[in-house]
Chain A
Amino acid sequence: MSRQPLPPWVDIGLIPIVNVLLAFVVVGLIVLAVGVNPFTAVRIMVTGAVGYPEAIGYTLYYTTNFIFTGLAVALAFHAGLFNIGGEGQAYIGGLGVGLVLLAFDSSLPALPLMALAVLAAAVFGAAWAAVPAWLQAWRGSHIVITTIMFNFIAAAVMVYLMVNVLIAPGSMSPESREIAASGHLPFVHELLAMAGITMGQSPLNLSIVWAALCCVFVWVFLWHTPWGFELRTMGHNPSAAIYAGVDIRRMTVLAMCLSGALAGFVGVNEIMGVHHRLILNFTAGYGFAGIAVALMGRNHPVGIVLASLLFGMLQQGGAELSFEIPAITREMVVVIQGLIILFCGALANLTKPAFERLFAVLRTRSTRAQASAAEA
């Protein structure tokens, strides 16, 4: 049997669609098992994710976070570093945003204030990633272990600060005071309202534009600058990087700092964009989901945007599903999300051999048909 390569439209078009359909079949069976009509469930999930403006707003709001953490993981991955610390870096990045906004929201005008907050997110996130990077580069501590540890340290630092230092006086819960309006990143529905378009309220804010710019930045950096060239060389072949004169230690720190800065931008979306005050647990697992996003997006900005959209849709559609159908608990929603990610990501090549066989048979038939036609 000859294994000819599949036509591109099958490889990147048909197979993913079949995978998604397969995922929905399995999901449908599970949904059926709890006595819910699977078609209703799918319809709710899809309309819940993209069916009306607010839903799209929520989906894109989640997408924004996934893009930041997905890019963070991908950039480190190109350098051969497995950054599991996106969660902590996002947390500390958010702390940076919050500190800047709380300190200057009464003294600075909106634009410089926001620019400073974005910068703070990058610096704080980068600093949090720099320590594990330094430990790996100079002390040989494995970065997977140290970044995981730093997630816990970040959580502890945040709780300490929120409970003891930054808590609003007289507040019941560990939250800072609300940030003044000059430190609120405009919501997309507000901007649309100014343009005369009404859109329901959603947490979608201008961070998504920043996320798009970050995608472009990562693409340019990795593939069009000498630093990106060195970074990728190190990731694919550290020996070749040494040969090429790359300072492996400095590059490790640089790659992790950029990765941490990208993760830190989750704080821009959450603190400056949505909550407008420092709170606990705003990272909600986006840092870890970023690993799956990056893997599924094949560590390329375009792939990451697509994967983030899928994750965003699943997050929003899933919430809507358990909202509309109480029989589907949030734990089941996680199962459903997991199955779809499994089929689209990890099992992406599941159906490939079958397609290869099918196309080989089709080819042989058409060759035979042509041959017999020629004979006739």
Chain B
Amino acid sequence: MPETSPPAIELRSIDKSFGAVRANRDVSLQVARGSITGIIGENGAGKSTLMSILYGLYEADSGEIYVDGRRVRIRSPRDAIASGIGMVHQHFMLIDTFTVLENVVLGAEAGPVLRPSLAAARRELDRLGRDYGLRVDPDAIVGTLPVSEQQRVEILKVLYRGARILILDEPSAVLTPQETEQLFRILQALRARGATVILITHKLREIMAVTDMVHVMRHGQVVAERRTAETSSAELAELMVGRKVRLALDKTAPQAGTPVLRARSIGLRDSRGVRLLDGIDLDLRAGEIVGIAGVSGNGQSELLEVLAGIRAPSDGSLAIGERVIDAAHPADPAEMRALGLAHVPEDRHRYAMVAPFAANETAILGYHNEAPFSGTCLLHHRAMVGHCAELMDGYDVRPRQPALRSSSFSGGNQQKLILAREIATRPRILLVGQPTRGVDIGAIEFIHRQLVAARDAGCAILVVSVELDEVMALADRILVMFGGRIVGEVAGDAADERTLGLMMANVWKPGET
């Protein structure tokens, strides 16, 4: 990196407020041409806002943006693309029923007639595939491709539009460890060809693995800038949260008791008859944490839904105490709650909260018919607010405002409130999906400790997470799911990342070599 060439991106004093919240405060940073630069920070630190400003999704309140040393005004993604900036979003912006080629060309057609655009795009895709190792069948229907290849299509789309600067927002969230490795090789190939990559992530491991430089953001500001080679995970973690954190969890050996939930040969088919779950056997014992590892979409979500009573199993049965639940005798979530089962869903926005509701309303969701919140026919507002304030105190939910809209809380605080709600009922069984998805490091630690405390109090806990680190840190037993089946079981302290990763990809089973 010769000092004479201007940086690919330079941001000067970027400020951005949303109402009273200052999402970015006087942010200045430089990204060298031909580098992979990481931006790391807790949720709500302002990483995504900053990148949205760079990509033209928001306009900064003040500050300047320079691309290759020239000042530019970016008011829309169109401006960003014209300046050579492209973005790969966390949620893919692809049309499932179109082919790869059509998706790449969409929005960048060369004229009113499609055929010449497609022919040119086919040649260009071929070249990009050779140059960067980004090989995808241009005629495949996008919806039929695995997630990792869809991500490649997203990257191809950006390159096809002539981007020299790529922004990737949490790209590994949907990938297996092996697929993540592959992605990193692609990023390195891009760098070798002179492209500039900005990687937004909250995973320290990835920063350490692939970046040249790293900027740490906290509370809307850039608090540190390090050459990756000269820093460590521990230092970055400390910079992110502003204090030392333990990534590993101290926990005692489990005192596993009797099984409180027994699942036998649980199967689930969707309306078209596709098998989503197949022959699941599972015992949950009081006082243990069972972790489920697996790449998203291998049946973990469906398993949680069946156990929580949201969907009835098509085959097999589920026993909680005397109650046996099967296809002919389903139980709804309300009955499950009455049986002592609490559920922190994977997708909290979809299931666990109602965005426009006040926090105190979200804090009784599912328990709204119970005393002291509900009398014979009226809700007791004071009891609701008091209960919510208690939960907020106990779980350090900020801001401590029971009347605030649920959606106004950050992801981590929403999750803490939901966890507080479910644990507060002292359940016999607790199902937790993605306990720390979108939660910052400080809160992760807190949530993990709460789960272990609940376990120690005798609760049977099932944790489903796509974060291997998390499953390994929490679980006393780890079950690996693939294709709707449980493909392996590993004791928590005997698990290692590589073995689990291979099991998750169903290429290795315990006992094989």
Contact = CB atoms under 8 A, between A and B. Distances in A.
Direct touching of A and B (C-beta under 8 Å): yes
Contacts of A245: 332-335, 337, 366
B352 interface: yes
A244 B357 contact: no
Contacts of B335: 245
A243 B345 contact: yes
A225 B377 contact: yes
B407 to A, nearest CB: 10
A347 to B, nearest CB: 24
B365 A233 contact: yes
Given A224-B379, A226-B374, A243 B351 contact: yes
Interface in A218-249: 220, 224-226, 228-230, 232-233, 236-237, 239-240, 242-247
A232 to B, nearest CB: 7
7 contacts: A2-B61, A225-B378, A229-B368, A233-B354, A237-B350, A243-B352, A245-B337
Interface string B28-63: 000000000000000000000000000000000110
A244 B377 contact: no
A1 interface: yes
B369 A226 contact: yes
The majority secondary structure among interface residues of chain B is: loop
A224 B378 contact: yes
Nearest to A234: B354
A218 to B, nearest CB: 14
Contacts of B334: 244-246
B288 interface: no
A229 B379 contact: yes
B449 to A, nearest CB: 25
A228 B361 CA distance: 12
Given A239-B350, A245-B333, A5 B19 contact: yes
Contacts of B308: 243
A242 B310 contact: yes
B353 interface: yes
Given A225-B378, A237-B354, A242 B365 contact: no
B428 interface: no
Contacts of B377: 225-226
B356 interface: yes
A226 B357 contact: no
Contacts of A233: 354, 357, 365
A135 to B, nearest CB: 19
B269 interface: no
Contacts of A247: 332
A232 B357 contact: yes
A136 B384 CA distance: 33
Given A225-B378, A247-B332, A236 B357 contact: yes
Contact of B352 (A5, A220, A240): A240
Nearest to B310: A242
B490 interface: no
Contacts of A220: 378
Interface of B: 17, 19, 61-62, 308, 310, 332-335, 337, 343, 345, 350-357, 361, 364-366, 368-369, 373-374, 377-379, 381
A137 to B, nearest CB: 15
- Residue from B334, B355, B364, B381 with most neighbouring chain A CB atoms (10 Å): B334
Contacts of A236: 354-357
A240 B354 contact: yes
Contact of A230 (B61, B345, B368, B381): B368
B366 A244 contact: yes
A244 B367 CA distance: 8
Contacts of A226: 368-369, 373-374, 377, 379
Contacts of A244: 333-334, 365-366, 368
A: contact size bracket: 20 to 34
Nearest to A2: B61
Contacts of A239: 350-351
Contacts of A1: 61
Q: Which of A1, A228, A230, A233: most chain B CB closer than 10 A?
A: A233
Nearest to A247: B332
Given A225-B378, A226-B368, A232 B354 contact: yes
Contacts of A237: 350, 353-355
A239 B355 CA distance: 12
Contacts of A230: 368
Contacts of A243: 308, 310, 333, 343, 345, 351-352, 365-366
Interface string A240-278: 101111110000000000000000000000000000000
Nearest to A5: B19
A277 B255 CA distance: 77
A226 B369 CA distance: 6
User: 10 closest A-B pairs (Cβ-Cβ)?
Assistant: A245-B334, A244-B366, A243-B351, A245-B333, A226-B374, A236-B354, A239-B350, A237-B354, A2-B61, A244-B365
Contacts of A2: 17, 61-62
Given A5-B19, A239-B351, 13 more contacts: A224-B381, A225-B377, A225-B379, A229-B361, A229-B364, A232-B357, A239-B350, A240-B354, A240-B365, A243-B343, A243-B351, A245-B335, A245-B366
Contacts of A228: 379
B158 to A, nearest CB: 29
A5 B332 CA distance: 44
A236 B381 CA distance: 20
Nearest to B15: A2
Contacts of B61: 1-2
A245 B332 CA distance: 6
Contacts of A232: 354, 357
Contacts of B361: 229
A5 B21 CA distance: 12
B217 to A, nearest CB: 21
B367 to A, nearest CB: 8
Contacts of B374: 226
Contacts of B352: 240, 243
A372 B369 CA distance: 60
Interface in A1-29: 1-2, 5
Given A225-B378, A225-B379, A226-B368, A240 B353 contact: yes
A371 B369 CA distance: 57
Which of B335, B345, B373, B379 has most A Cβ within 10 Å?
Answer: B379
B421 to A, nearest CB: 11
A127 B54 CA distance: 56
Contacts of B354: 232-233, 236-237, 240
Contacts of B373: 226
Contacts of A5: 19
A239 B347 CA distance: 10
A246 B332 CA distance: 9
A225 to B, nearest CB: 6
A232 B62 CA distance: 40
Nearest to B309: A245
A311 B149 CA distance: 56
Most buried by B among A220, A228, A229: A229
A345 B368 CA distance: 35
Nearest to B379: A224
Tell me which of A228, A237, A243 has the highest count of chain B C-beta atoms within 10 A of its own C-beta: A243
A5 to B, nearest CB: 6
A253 to B, nearest CB: 17
A228 B368 CA distance: 11
A240 B369 CA distance: 15
A349 to B, nearest CB: 17
A1 B335 CA distance: 53
A1 B62 CA distance: 7
Contacts of B19: 5
Contacts of B333: 242-245
